[in-house]
Amino acid sequence: MSVELDEFCTIFFSLDRDRNSLLDDEFFDIQQQHITYGFRQCQNPRDKVYGLLAIVGDVSDLDLWLTPDYSHSESEVFYDATFAMLHRDISSLKCLTGAQYGPDSKKWASWVCDFGTTMTQRQSDLESNMLMIYDLFNASMGRRSRWETFMTWPPAADEKPHQVGLGLTGKCVGTVAVICEKNSAESDERQGKVFSSWMQASGVDFDQCSNERQCSDELLRFWRTILGGVMSAGQDQTEYSDWRRFTAEALVWLEPFLSLIQTGEPTKTFALDRTLLVATGARCYFRTDDGGQGLCHPNTKVGDQVWVLHGSNVPFSLRRAVLGDEEQAELRPRDAYGVGEDDVFGLKPDFVDNRTPYGHYYLIGDCYLDGFMDGEAADGTDFVVLV
């Protein structure tokens, strides 16, 4: 069988399995299916959304946003799909995790998913595993998301930024002070060099730590961070998705990890290799201004803030957005608008926003921040608007 035919059959039977599962009332969300098929190409970027509708279950409640309409711009379709994901899982921010977020002139807002991005097969695999790992954490301690949409009216030109916003509550838990190079996972030798630079940034003295019995609290925190707070329990390729939280059992992997750094030789430990690939692949190690450490997407910069937002199991990195006075005045809560006495939709004449001044931020991406993955900052009530 040719490679092309084998690939076609794999896709065909995958789609057939998904559709049969839908008959059994199994639910597939848009985010999961986008990641699963995100490395496939299509001629029209809008079909990165519309092409998924047949395999995401009953979308009748989302007809307002997801009825295929090719007169809509790509930016509008991606916004509608992101809004539909938020609406379907209304108390959670899981749909905002992944590498498809951040400021981009092609999108209406940083929190709008860039469905048009074509992933590689490896990226699809990494993202799928990160979705499974997401459910192991509880950064906001189960506090529900009560998001609020902001908008300008009348709508601005399609390419104009800051015309839609997403209001959220949470707490800032640190500011990025140091960020290291990305782990591209190109080879064992290259990974060893990257991890070595991460160790130097951590300040941990590994020369005195040759095995798990010599593990200090400082080393333990770094090791837990490098593994993203999790560990794979699988022993071979058939068990790659068996994830659990980090435990002291992972200390037995320190010796092969140090050997990887010193020699560039593979660890020959499947569970360790899988954990390192998923936790650090296409991610950067960072330190916060108060000594915290974590893993983030490579578009994060020094000065970005780390927030625990209500409704999310993991923290997010946010960047201050500087809006002009006119932009701030135009971007108002959606409930500030309505149909007036003249039957024209617009700003309500009696609307007053009584909230204390709030900041505007760009969503950069989800992250891991050691010490803030289990509700340590769930009491935050600061209001922010993502643009």
User: What does the DSSP 8-state code read for residue 217?
Assistant: H
Highest-scoring range by mean pLDDT, 107-111, 177-181, 183-187: 177-181
> Amino acid identity of 118?
T
Amino acid 237: pLDDT? 53
Place of tokens 């931020």: 361
Residue 72 has pLDDT above 50, yes or no: yes
Residue 305's pLDDT band, with cuts at 50, 70 and 90, is: very high
- pLDDT tens per residue, range 259-295: 888 888 888 888 999 999 999 999 999 999 999 999 9
Amino acid 342: pLDDT? 76
Which distant-in-sequence residues (6+ apart) come within 8 Å of 116 by Cβ? 45, 48, 74, 78, 106
Going 226 to 230 to 233 to 238, the CA torsion angle's sign is negative
User: What does the DSSP 8-state code read for residue 291?
Assistant: S
- pLDDT tens per residue, range 316-326: 999 999 888 88
Residue 356 has pLDDT above 60, yes or no: yes
Q: What is the mean pLDDT of the segment spanning 223-227?
A: 97
Highest-scoring range by mean pLDDT, 96-105, 119-128, 220-229: 220-229
Q: What percentage of the chain reaches a pLDDT higher than 70?
A: 83
Over the range 35-52, which residues count as b (16 or more CB within 10 Å of their CB) and which as e? Answer: bbbbeeeeeebbbbbbbb
Q: What is the mean pLDDT of the segment spanning 120-140?
A: 93
d(CA 272, CA 250): 8
Q: What is the mean pLDDT of the segment spanning 293-309?
A: 98
d(CA 23, CA 29): 15
Residue 25's pLDDT band, with cuts at 50, 70 and 90, is: very low
d(CA 52, CA 128): 16
Amino acid 62: pLDDT? 63
Amino acid 106: pLDDT? 79
What's the mean per-residue pLDDT of the chain? Answer: 85
Question: By mean pLDDT, which of 31-45, 181-195, 226-240, 355-369 is the weakest?
Answer: 226-240
Residue 20 has pLDDT above 70, yes or no: no
Amino acid 24: pLDDT? 46
Domain layout of the chain by residue ranges: 184-280
Amino acid 132: pLDDT? 93
Residue 340's pLDDT band, with cuts at 50, 70 and 90, is: confident
Q: What is the mean pLDDT of the segment spanning 43-52?
A: 91
